[in-house]
Amino acid sequence: MAYPQAWVVDALLSDGVPVSIRPIRPDDGTALAAFHDGLSEETAYRRFFSFKPHLTDRDVERFVHVDYRDRMAFVAVLGEQLIGVARYDRLPGTEDAEVAFVVADAHQGRGLGTLFLEYLAAAARDCGITRFIAETLAVNRGMLDVFRAAGFREETSREREVVTVALDIRPTDAARAATEAREWSAAVLSMSRLLRPRSIAVVGAGRREGSVGRSILRTLLQSGFRGPVYPVNPHASTVEGVAAHPSVAAIPHPVDVAVIAVPPAAVLEAVDACAARGVHGLIVVSSGFSESGPEGAALERRLVERAHRGGMRLIGPNCLGVIDTHPGVRMNATVATRAPVPGPIAFASQSGALGIAMLERAEGMGLGMSAFVSMGNKVDVSSNDLLRYWEQDEQTRVILLSLESFGNPRAFSRVARRVSRSKPIVAVEAGRSAAGARGAASRTAALAAPDSAVDALSRQSGVIRVDTLEQLFDVGAVLAHQPLPRGGRVAVVGNAGGAGILAADALARSRLEPVVLDAGVQAALRAAVPGASGLGNPVDLGAGAGAESFRRALAIVLAADQVDAVIAVHAPVPGAPVAEVAAAIAAAAAGAGKPVLATFLGMDAPPAVPGTEARVPAFASPEPAAQALAAVTAYARWRMRPEGAVTVLDAVDPDAARSVVAAELDGRPEGAWLGPEAARVLLATYGIAAGPAKEGAAVQAVASAGVETIVGVVHDPVFSPGGVSIVDVRLRLVPAVPHPELTVRRLRPIPAPLAV
């Protein structure tokens, strides 16, 4: 068989360090022999059950020549060294294969054996192998633990000092959970290295005022970063009053993260120097990569290959840096002159300049940030990695995303669905129109996804999708400081009758319910605020209502069982200072257990309503308040839904399905609609009983209620298979169970099988 390039991947070791895994090649003989020579006597003995200090030429020839089907081998490469080998050999005429692993002594205990097993199992299943047989010494506890932790069905037997393990490698829920847990933990650790560094080098910290490197160095120093900062400049002895070093290699102390701000032609040299110095992670702000054309794209591929080969994760390129406000870090590695105040919101933006502008908006709204990441071309670190990290970050309660593309929508869906159960995700995506998609591609080489597919992904994953950057922060403000509503029944309380009516209309347009308050609540309002009118909802406190009237009325309305949320509307009037009204609203909202939003009419910059944890979001008009509340309410309802489970289809025959399709395409390679009988047979191969089909219909079935429904499957270049039901048109992503190997971060993704 041809060399299986699709299996060349980058994965993460258990400590978060990237490693390259690929099928073995015939030219690996010299490296394989050197690898074996470097093994300790104990490791070599555990592999071969005898003392074998060197591989013979015949051994090397046999090991490096495989057919990639009945005999398969993977190697792991870190830096320039081969650090592990794993292989299987099919037992002739069976669905069983013998499997063996060996990992260099210095890299044992880093999860490489687990990665090898996942990849070998996936490759073997593709070739019809269903069981692995392994023999290992009873003292080899590490290897036995790898087999037990994989989640496969296992049978073991022992004869003297040798344990025989038989693994049924067909996917199980336990195996998928084990893979997900491994990947999740590794991603979190890799992000910790980047977002919580103990020391930073700025490569390209120039002397010229206004240069990017110097600006980032300055903000790092001004933000009070808790660790040392090392400028790297071969032409300067000091930069910003700090001693400079001619190269990364010349820095006398360990470096966790390097910010690279040099011309694109010099980036690879800087990356190699960082790898040689043992730097853990890179933030590449340099531009001129895939966003600039084919040559830049080729340079970008070499960039990430060099970074991963050196064991480093990479943010960027073409980004504007990273901020972490944790009191133990206080890192502002961006050109933003003012770091945001600490707070509960984490924000990731594909556009650096836009992201920094939105940080200024957040500051104006009084919103505190836990972190900001400019992802740039996100050739390595993506929103999926950041979501995993922020899920466990105690400083973060709300996650905001500004995206221009989806790298791996299926992975995003799985990750977001889990994170959204505990922390809300709010996303705005650029490139929704044809013109916007062209613009996104020219800026960050983003491949914009179809709008309907993104909507489907968001609904299924619990992601709150908004249309504008203003809505992104409006919704984020509500989520950061207010509890989730129990339902969609909303009361409006204000001192301007017309504005209250507009607010009620905005709620109705947003599919919320301006609930009619019952007689008891109205009576209580009448007694507490004698001048109030229209007490059914909206509640008009009268133009002269001051802070105390707002406090009393809100307390009564919030206590009503029939109310899930409240919007307070205030029109500035003499004798009722806005600051006092804002304080009264905050006092009423504190401890109510229901969301309260405030609207201060006619104010371009509504006042920050007092309070910390229960700060009330303030808006300049009722419409954005209603829209934000509607988005939060929809999310709350999603959180209340049962999680559900992905159905695993057992009685399926993919080979028969392929035969049906191949037969239909044999004479019509350009494609065509299936005839009624062929459609019935195709569905039957997946256990679907079709109703009477008509000519011209791809699939036609009759629902239990007697409603005719047409179901089809489309293949999107970004989202892969997706489904659409016509009549009441709804698009959903196919909930196919992924192969475990598909969840690993990689340079070149493994093609997913079509799942219907």
620-640 residue pLDDT tens:
999 999 999 999 999 999 999
| pLDDT (tens digit per residue) in 473-527 | 999 999 999 999 999 999 999 998 899 999 999 999 999 999 999 999 999 999 9
CB count in 10 Å sphere of residue 179: 26
Residue 612 has pLDDT above 70, yes or no: no
E strand spans, 197-280? 200-203, 229-232, 238-239, 242-243, 257-260
Sign, CA torsion 46/52/55/56:
negative
Q: Which amino acid is at 157?
A: S
| pTM (global) more than 0.75 | yes
Q: What is the pLDDT of residue 185?
A: 96
Higher pLDDT, 697 or 556: 556
Tracing tokens 């996936």 back to the chain, one arrives at 122
Using H for helix, E for strand and C for coil, what is the string for 5-63?
A: HHHCEEEECCCCCEEEEEECCHHHHHHHHHHHHCCCHHHHHHHHCCCCCCCCHHHHHHH
**Torsion angle, CA of 101/106/110/114, rounded to 10 degrees?**
0
- Span 186-213, average pLDDT: 94
Angstrom distance (rounded) from CA 220 to CA 259: 11
Residue 676 has pLDDT above 90, yes or no: no
Beta bridge partners of 98: 89, 133
Higher pLDDT, 40 or 745: 40
Considering 36-40, 426-430, 530-534, the range whose residues carry the highest mean pLDDT is 36-40
Supply the mean pLDDT for the chain.
86
CB count in 10 Å sphere of residue 135: 13
Q: What is the pLDDT of residue 606?
A: 58
683 DSSP 8-state letter = H
Q: Could you tell me the CA-to-CA distances from 495 to 518, 577, 601, 619 in Å, in that order?
A: 20, 13, 11, 16
Q: Could you tell me the CA-to-CA distances from 574 to 492, 578, 609 in Å, in that order?
A: 22, 10, 19
Angstrom distance (rounded) from CA 420 to CA 408: 18
Q: What is the pLDDT of residue 357?
A: 84
* Portion of the chain with pLDDT greater than 70, in percent: 86
CB 566 within 8 A of CB 594: yes
User: What are the φ and ψ backbone dihedral angles of 502, each rounded to 5 degrees?
Assistant: -60, -40
Q: In angstroms, how far is CA 635 from the centroid of its own chain?
A: 18
| pLDDT (tens digit per residue) in 364-388 | 888 899 999 999 999 999 999 999 9
Confidence of residue 442 (pLDDT cuts 50, 70, 90): very low
Angstrom distance (rounded) from CA 400 to CA 391: 12
Kindly tell me the burial class for residue 478, based on how many C-beta atoms sit within 10 Å of its own C-beta (0-12, 13-18, 19 or more): buried
- Choice among 60-69, 501-510, 641-650, 701-710 with the minimum mean pLDDT: 701-710
- Span 222-249, average pLDDT: 95
Residues 6+ apart with CB under 8 A from 718: 405, 406, 409, 447, 449, 450, 453
Q: Which of helix, strand or coil describes residue 164?
A: strand
CA gyration radius for the chain?
A: 30
- Span 401-430, average pLDDT: 89
Residue 299 has pLDDT above 60, yes or no: yes
Q: What is the pLDDT of residue 731?
A: 57
Residue 113 has pLDDT above 90, yes or no: yes
Q: What is the pLDDT of residue 750?
A: 35
Q: Which of helix, strand or coil describes residue 135?
A: strand
Confidence of residue 725 (pLDDT cuts 50, 70, 90): very low
Q: What is the pLDDT of residue 145?
A: 92
Using H for helix, E for strand and C for coil, what is the string for 549-590?
A: HHHHHHHHHHHCCCCCEEEEEECCECCECHHHHHHHHHHHHC
